[in-house]
Amino acid sequence: MILFFYNLALLAALVLGAPFWLWRMAATKKYREGIRERLGRVPKRLGSVRLRGASRPAIWLHAVSVGEVLAVSRFVSELERAFPAHRLLVSTTTRTGQALARQRFGAERVFYCPLDLPWAVRAYLDAIQPALLILAETEFWPNLLSGCFRRGIPAAVVNARISDRSWPRYRALSALWKPLLSRLSLVLAQSELDAERLKAIGCAPERVSVGGNLKFDVRAAEESEAVRLLRRQTAGLRLVVAGSTLGGEEAALLEAWPQLLAADPNLVLILAPRHPERFGAVAALLDASGRAWLRRSQWQQPIQPMIQPGQILLLDTIGELASVYSLASVAFIGGSLVPAGGHNPLEPAQFGVPVVMGPSYENFRAIVEDLRAHDAIRIAAGNDFADALMDLLRNPSAARALGERARQVFERQAGATARSVAAIRALLAESIPESLIPEEHA
pLDDT of amino acid 26: 57
As a whole number of angstroms, the distance between CA 30 and CA 26 comes to 10
Q: Tell me what percent of the residues of the chain surpass a pLDDT of 70.
A: 88
pLDDT of amino acid 47: 59
Q: Which of 378-381's residues contact partners 24+ apart within 8 Å by CB, and which partners?
A: 378/354, 378/402, 380/356
For residue 355, list its beta bridge partners. 331
Q: Which residue has the higher pLDDT, 302 or 345?
A: 345
As a whole number of angstroms, the distance between CA 293 and CA 313 comes to 6
Banded pLDDT at 336 (limits 50, 70, 90): very high
Taking residues 2-15, report their average pLDDT: 72
Banded pLDDT at 435 (limits 50, 70, 90): very low
Residues 116 and 39 sit within 8 Å (Cβ to Cβ): no
Taking residues 44-56, report their average pLDDT: 56
As a whole number of angstroms, the distance between CA 247 and CA 275 comes to 10
Banded pLDDT at 182 (limits 50, 70, 90): very high
Single out the catalytic residue among 68, 139, 249, 320.
68
Banded pLDDT at 52 (limits 50, 70, 90): very low
Banded pLDDT at 204 (limits 50, 70, 90): very high
Is the confidence at residue 436, as pLDDT, over 60? no
Length of the chain: 442
Residues 116 and 38 sit within 8 Å (Cβ to Cβ): no
The amino acid that residue 181 corresponds to is: L
Banded pLDDT at 328 (limits 50, 70, 90): very high
Residue-range domain boundaries for the chain: 34-212+415-436, 225-412
**pLDDT, tens only, 262-308:** 989 999 999 999 999 899 999 999 999 999 999 998 876 555 667 89
pLDDT of amino acid 202: 95
Residues 188 and 158 sit within 8 Å (Cβ to Cβ): yes
**pLDDT, tens only, 135-153:** 999 889 999 999 999 999 9
**pLDDT, tens only, 99-126:** 999 989 999 999 999 999 999 999 999 9
Buried b (16+ CB within 10 A) or exposed e, 14-24: eeeeeeeeeee
Q: Tell me what percent of the residues of the chain surpass a pLDDT of 90.
A: 65
Domain 225-412, second-level architecture? 3-Layer(aba) Sandwich (3.40)
Say if 34-212+415-436 and 225-412 have the same CATH topology: yes
Instruction: Provide the CA 266 distance to its chain's centre, in angstroms.
Output: 32
Buried b (16+ CB within 10 A) or exposed e, 366-381: bbbebbeeeebbbbbe
Q: Which fold has domain 34-212+415-436?
A: Rossmann fold (3.40.50)
Alpha helices in 328-383 (DSSP H): 346-349, 365-373
Is the confidence at residue 21, as pLDDT, over 60? no
Is the confidence at residue 164, as pLDDT, over 50? yes
Annotated catalytic residue 440: no
Q: What is the DSSP string of 5-67?
A: HHHHHHHHHHHHHHHHHHHHHHH-HHHHTTHHHHTT---TTT--TTTTT-SS-EEEEE--SHH
Taking residues 157-168, report their average pLDDT: 92
